[in-house]
Amino acid sequence: MYIVDLTFDCYQDTTLEAAEQAIVRLVNALRFNGQIIGEEFPTTLKDGFFITRVMCPEEDALHPLNHSPFVKFSLDKLNEAGLLQPKVKVIGQDIHSNGSDSCTSPSSYILYTTYLHTCSPLYCGDDFMPVPLYKVPAVANGDFKALLKWQEDWQACDQIQINGATRCEFAAIKELADVDSDLFRRGMDLSKRIRFLTKKPVYYYLYRVGGLSKEQELSRKCPKCNGDWRLAEPWFGLFDFRCDDCELISNISWDFQ
C-alpha cells in the first residue's frame, strides 16, 4: 500500500467547518470506493493548506478513471467550500502493509477478512492478493459501501471473539461461522452480486472454531448442501474445505490445528 498526501488549497475565504466537511465527504467517498483504505485519516492545517494523509492500495488508485459517481460529486463540492481540487503526492510504499492483486483477470475471488486486516475484503482466487475494489464493478449505488460495512461488522465480531472477554463472544462466533447468521446472509448477497457482475466464482469464507474431535472436524460436510468439500491440500495454506457448488470455503476448527 502507498502513503499519499492530498493537499487542498483554499482559493477563497472559507470557514474551517465548511472545508472540513467537504474534505470528510471526499475521504468517505474515496474510502467507499476502495481508492483509499483505513479508518483514520489525519488532516493538518498549515499555511492555509489542508493536508490529509491517506493509504492507497495502488500508486495510481486516485486516478480519475477509478472515481465513483460519489467521488466525482464530492470533488465538485470542494469548490463550493472554497477549496481547489486536491494535489496528490505519493510519499512512498508502506513497508508494514501487504501489496495488492495485479492480475488482469482473476479466475475467481474470495470474500475474506480478519480483525487484523485493513486491506480489501475481496481476494484474488489465483494468488490470494487483496483486489483493489475499484477494479471490479460497483456492488450497489455506484460503490462498495455495503461491502465495507459488511467487512467492518465481520471484523468487529472477530475482535470480540478473539478477545473472548464478554458474553457476546458466542453470538459473535455464530455470525462468523453460521450459515443462518445475518453476516452470512449479507456476505452471501454481496458475493452473489460480485459473481453476477464479474461472471467469476466468488467464494465466501466461513470461520470455524469448536467441535468435538479432530476426526469429526476432518469429516465435516458442507453446511449448505451436506456434500463432501474437504480438499487434499489446503487452498493457500488456509482453507481446508471448499464446496464449488455452494462457493463456500472454511478451515479445520482452530481448536484442532
Candidate list 45, 60, 91, 103; residue touching Zn ion; CB under 5 A:
103
Per CB under 5 A, 58 contacts Zn ion: no
* Residue 225 C-beta: closest distance to Zn ion, Å: 3
Per CB under 5 A, 140 contacts Zn ion: no
To the nearest 10 degrees (0 to 180), the angle between helices 182-198 and 145-163 is: 140
| Strand blocks (E) in the chain | 2-9, 43-46, 49-56, 87-93, 109-111, 122-124, 202-206, 230-235, 239-243, 248-250
Nearest C-alpha neighbor of 195 from the set 118, 122, 120: 122
* Residue 227 C-beta: closest distance to Zn ion, Å: 5
* Residue 230 C-beta: closest distance to Zn ion, Å: 12
How crowded is residue 64: how many other Cβ atoms within 10 Å of its Cβ?
8
Q: Which stretch binds Zn ion (CB under 5 A): 99-107, 109-117, 148-156, 207-215?
A: 99-107
Candidate list 53, 77, 220, 224; residue touching Zn ion; CB under 5 A:
224
Between 60 and 76, CB nearer to Zn ion: 60
Per CB under 5 A, 53 contacts Zn ion: no
Per CB under 5 A, 225 contacts Zn ion: yes
Q: Which stretch binds Zn ion (CB under 5 A): 11-19, 80-88, 120-128, 140-148?
A: 120-128
Distances (CA, A) of 205 to 188, 219, 225, 236: 10, 18, 15, 13
Instruction: Please give the Cα distance from 2 to 147 (Å, whole number).
Output: 22
Per the CB < 8 A criterion, the answer to whether 2 and 90 are in contact is yes
Per CB under 5 A, 126 contacts Zn ion: yes
Binding mask 174-213 for Zn ion (x = CB under 5 A): ----------------------------------------
Helix (H, G, I), strand (E, B) or coil at 136: coil
Catalog residues that contact Zn ion under the rule CB under 5 A: 101, 103, 124, 126-127, 222, 224-225, 227, 243, 245-246
